[in-house]
């Protein structure tokens, strides 16, 4: 594996993870939540991830496993690995208490209208939200890393989609911590650092999985990554886009994301 390719893959996971800081910055430097933008952007991100997972990643995993195991067995392994990826992220989601789950959206108006309170409960909520986001982002980092190693343009698309989806998560961390401490600096820093689990996920992939990467393991991992990303899109991105109150914009964003991803795959097709 070339050093340049590895560094590129790590850089993409770092970019995707640290975009939680963008959400935190929006919370402190804008007065109102741009719900139309976030609804469209989250829908777009879901479209990119669903399309690339089902059309590109699942297909590549299936081709690899069929070549390694035969048609029927290879297809079975692909499907099982796909749903295993979904099960993994669902278990992670289930283990996090609902009141500390990063899916609960917050708006930047809360910063303008509320007053900071030295409140341990709010601080605990913010810290646990940051930890929850870190746990969620871990498999996303692995997904971005593995995709970038295989096909750089695929890694870029996934990294951008995950970066968009991390913006409201940054708001979710920073708002309660600001209320608890009165410090925008602390709120921004913790929100920013919560995204570091994505490059950590990439590092785990590099140190643990890469030395044993065989064609069969690659196929299983890729199918699992597809399942993870489809689950995230259906469980997090689309509900979040809907919760911002712009149903049609989220669907337009979804279709646009699929179209952009399809076009990019056509342009880079070999």
What pLDDT, on a 0 to 100 scale, did the predictor assign at position 70?
93
- The DSSP string of 10-75 is HHHHHHHHTTHHHHHHHHHH-SS--HHHHHHHHHHHHHHHHHIIIIIIHHHHHHHHHHHH-HHHHH
Q: From first to last of its 270 residues, what are the pLDDT tens digits of the chain?
A: 577 888 888 888 888 888 877 777 766 665 555 667 777 877 888 888 899 889 888 998 999 999 999 999 999 999 999 999 999 888 877 776 554 444 444 544 444 444 444 456 666 666 666 676 677 677 778 778 877 887 787 788 888 888 877 777 777 677 767 777 777 787 788 777 777 778 887 887 778 877 777 888 888 988 998 898 899 888 877 887 777 666 788 889 899 989 988 887 787 665
What pLDDT, on a 0 to 100 scale, did the predictor assign at position 30?
56
For 170, the token pair is 């940054």
Tell me the HSE value of 269 on the side-chain side, using a 13 A CA sphere: 9
What pLDDT, on a 0 to 100 scale, did the predictor assign at position 1?
56
Burial level of 72, CB count in 10 A (0-12/13-18/19+)? exposed
What pLDDT, on a 0 to 100 scale, did the predictor assign at position 29?
64
What pLDDT, on a 0 to 100 scale, did the predictor assign at position 87?
93
What pLDDT, on a 0 to 100 scale, did the predictor assign at position 108?
47
What pLDDT, on a 0 to 100 scale, did the predictor assign at position 170?
76
- Whole-angstrom Cα Rg for the chain: 19
**CA–CA dist 227, 71 (Å, integer):** 20
What pLDDT, on a 0 to 100 scale, did the predictor assign at position 192?
77
CB 222 within 8 A of CB 60: yes
What pLDDT, on a 0 to 100 scale, did the predictor assign at position 63?
93
What pLDDT, on a 0 to 100 scale, did the predictor assign at position 84?
95
CB 52 within 8 A of CB 222: no
Nearest to 126 by CA among 96, 91, 95, 171: 171
What pLDDT, on a 0 to 100 scale, did the predictor assign at position 270?
57
**pTM score, two decimals?**
0.70
What pLDDT, on a 0 to 100 scale, did the predictor assign at position 69?
92
Tokens 């930047």 locate to: 108
């Amino acid at each position: 594996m070339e050093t340049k390719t590895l560094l590129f893959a790590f850089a993409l996971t770092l970019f995707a993870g640290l975009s939680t800081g963008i959400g935190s910055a929006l919370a402190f430097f804008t007065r109102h939540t741009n719900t139309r933008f976030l609804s469209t952007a989250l829908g777009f991100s879901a479209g990119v991830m669903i399309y690339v997972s089902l059309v590109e990643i699942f297909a590549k995993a299936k081709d690899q496993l069929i070549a390694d195991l035969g048609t029927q067995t290879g297809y079975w392994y692909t499907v099982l690995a796909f749903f295993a990826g979904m099960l993994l992220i669902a278990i992670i989601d289930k283990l996090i208490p609902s009141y500390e789950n990063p899916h609960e959206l917050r708006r930047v108006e809360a910063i303008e209208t509320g007053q900071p309170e030295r409140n341990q409960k709010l601080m605990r909520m913010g810290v646990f939200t940051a930890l929850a986001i870190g746990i969620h982002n871990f498999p996303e980092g692995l997904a971005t890393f593995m995709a970038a190693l295989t096909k750089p343009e695929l890694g870029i698309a996934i990294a951008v989609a995950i970066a968009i989806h991390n913006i409201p998560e940054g708001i979710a961390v920073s708002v309660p911590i600001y209320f608890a401490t009165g410090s925008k600096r602390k709120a921004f820093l913790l929100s920013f650092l919560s995204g570091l689990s994505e490059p950590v996920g990439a590092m785990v992939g590099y140190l643990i999985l890469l030395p044993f990467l065989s064609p069969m393991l690659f196929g299983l991992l890729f199918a699992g990554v597809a399942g993870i990303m489809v689950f995230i899109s259906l469980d997090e991105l689309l509900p979040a886009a809907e919760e911002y109150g712009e149903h049609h914009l989220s669907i337009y964003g979804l279709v646009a994301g699929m179209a952009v991803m399809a076009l990019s795959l056509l342009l880079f097709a070999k």
